[in-house]
Structure 1
Amino acid sequence: MNYKIKKAGLEDLDELAELFDLYRVFYRQEPDVQKAKAFLKERLLNSESDVFLAMIGGKAVGFVQLYKLFHYTKLEKQWLLSDLFVHPDFRGKGLSVALIERCKHWCNETGACGLMLETGKTNEIGNTLYPRCGFVYDDLHNYYHWWK
């Protein structure tokens, strides 16, 4: 299968927003393409995230979104692999692995020490995929959140 991984820009916003909305629906959120588009546009305009697209025949079929963080013990930049999604029609073709590999190269390109991510305990696909891609499960930490 011929595919290309490219860094997303504002010119990709419409296709990216459609995929991002499907991703949100996967996580049991109400669909809202316009809100997804506004969210992504703000991230891209303010250089708050980096997004890579998996392209087949000029059409975006998957994406990964990274946010810059800093590691407190390594005292280096790291990337949060926040969002990873491949359209259901294109799953099982190695696109998720290709997107993750592009993220690893991005670490090298930007001088980051690595990637971190979190996924739901019920995300069977992700919980199988990430160890296959070299991620190590961290069972020493509890993750908490606070929402206002």
Structure 2
Amino acid sequence: MNFKIRKANLEDLQELSQLFNEYRVFYRQVSNLERSMEFIKNRLLNNESDVFIALVEDKVVGFVQLYKLFHYIKLEKQWLLSDLYVQPEYRGKGISIGLIDRSKEWCIETGACGLMLETEKTNHIGNTLYPKCGFLHDEGHNYYHWWR
């Protein structure tokens, strides 16, 4: 399948927000297109994340969202691959791998030491995909969250 990947901008807001909303629903969140759009718009306007989109025939079918972090051991910038989503009908066609590869290129372009990510243990698609893309599973750490 032919697809292209490019950095998202505000002109992509409508389509990207729809996909972001679908992504949230995938993770069992209540659909809220308005808040999804506001969230993505703020990330783009404030340069708080970098988003790459995958397009098939000029239709946005997938995205990856990266947030800048800093690695305490390497003492360098790294990127958190926070969100990766491809519409179900476009899965298995290399688009997720393409988005991950573009994220790796972004690390090189920005002088970052690498990418990190976390996903649910029940995300069988992601837990199969990430090792195929060269990610190593870190069994030495537990990840905890605090929510207010």
Q: Provide the TM-score with structure 2 as the length reference.
A: 0.99
**Corresponding residue number in structure 2 for 1:63:** 63
Number of the residue aligned with 2:16: 16
Is 2:36 aligned against 1:32? no
Q: Which letter does structure 1 place at the counterpart of 2:133?
A: C
CA distance in 2, matches of 1:29, 1:139: 27
1:9-54: CA deviations, max 9, x gaps? Answer: 0000000000000000000000011100000000000000000000
Letter of the 2:124 counterpart? E
C-alpha displacement at 1:101, in angstroms? Answer: 0.1
Query: Equivalents in 1 of 2:145, 2:90: separation in Å?
Result: 33
Misfit runs of 4+, over 3 Å: none
Asked if residue 133 in structure 1 is aligned to residue 127 in structure 2, the reply is: no
Q: Distance in 2 between matches of 1:11 and 1:136?
A: 35
2:78 aligns to what?
78
| Map of 1:110 onto structure 2 | 110
Percent identity over the alignment is: 69
The answer for unaligned runs of 5 or more in structure 1 is: none
Partner of 1:92: 92
Displacement of 1:74: 0.2
SS in 1 for 2:92: coil
SS at 1:67 equivalent: strand
Report the CA distance between 1:72 and its aligned residue.
0.1
Alpha-carbon displacement from aligned partner over 1:60-93 (angstroms, at most 9, x marks no partner): 0000000000000000000000000000111110
Partners in 1 of 2:125 and 2:7 — Cα distance?
A: 24
1: CA distance, partners of 2:92 / 2:142: 31
Aligned-residue Cα RMSD (Å) equals: 0.4
For 2:50, the equivalent position in structure 1 comes to 50
**TM-score, normalisation: structure 1:** 0.99
